[in-house]
Each structure stands twice: as C-alpha cells, then as structure tokens.
Amino acid sequence: MVLIGDAAHATSPAAGQGSSLAVEDAVVLARCLRDLPVPEAFRVFEDLRRARVERVVAAAFRTSSAKSPPPVGRLVRDLVMPVVLRRRDPQAWVRAHQVDWDAPVVPAPVPS
C-alpha cells in the first residue's frame, strides 16, 4: 500500500498544490513500478519524492501562516464574523445543500 497526494502529504489550501502533488506522485510511482521490483519501487518512490514534497509543504505553511492574523486580529475576527454572517452568508448555499436519499434518480434532460 502506498499513500499519494494529500493523503500522504497534506498541504495548506493556500499552496494550491494538493492535486499537483498527487499527479506528480502518480507519475513517479508508475515509473518506479514499471522499472523496479515492487519492494524497491516503493522505497525509491519515497526517496525521489521526499525532498520536493517537504519543500512544498514548508512553503505552504509559510504562506498560510503569513495570512493568519495575530492574536488580537483573531479575537476581533471571531467576535465580528458571527454578526456579519447572521446578516448575509454568501456561502450559505454551499452548506445548505442536501441530497435526498429516498428520491428516485431522474436523468437530466439532454440539451437539444
């Protein structure tokens, strides 16, 4: 078993590198499995990916940390946001989505 992408090395969303690392991992792992015996392929895969992944994760942490407000800013944010969001939550539609398990599936109309 091998973990790749965000499952193996979750980066901060600020990095925007989660899917990129997953694709890179998949290609490097495929090459390793193509060219080496399985046990060695996994070891070499880890060796080949470690330096880049650690560098990306560290850069993402720095980027994310720079965007975080200091303690006073967090306190103000945490006090103000509930008031602001009570009035209008532009992302409410994302959280309000529900899937009705019992509803029958009806194919979407095909555009003509």
Total number of domains constituting the chain? 1
Identity of the amino acid at 94: V
67-93, pLDDT tens digit by residue? 667 888 888 888 888 887 777 776 677
Rounded Cα–Cα distance for residues 9 and 48 (Å): 14
Domain assignment of residue 97, yes or no? no
100 or 66, greater pLDDT: 100
Q: Is 47 in contact with 38 (CB distance < 8 Å)? A: no
Tell me the pTM.
0.55
At residue 87, φ and ψ (nearest 5 deg) are: -75, -50
Domain assignment of residue 101, yes or no? no
Domain assignment of residue 81, yes or no? yes
27-75, pLDDT tens digit by residue? 999 999 999 999 999 999 999 989 888 888 888 877 776 666 788 888 8
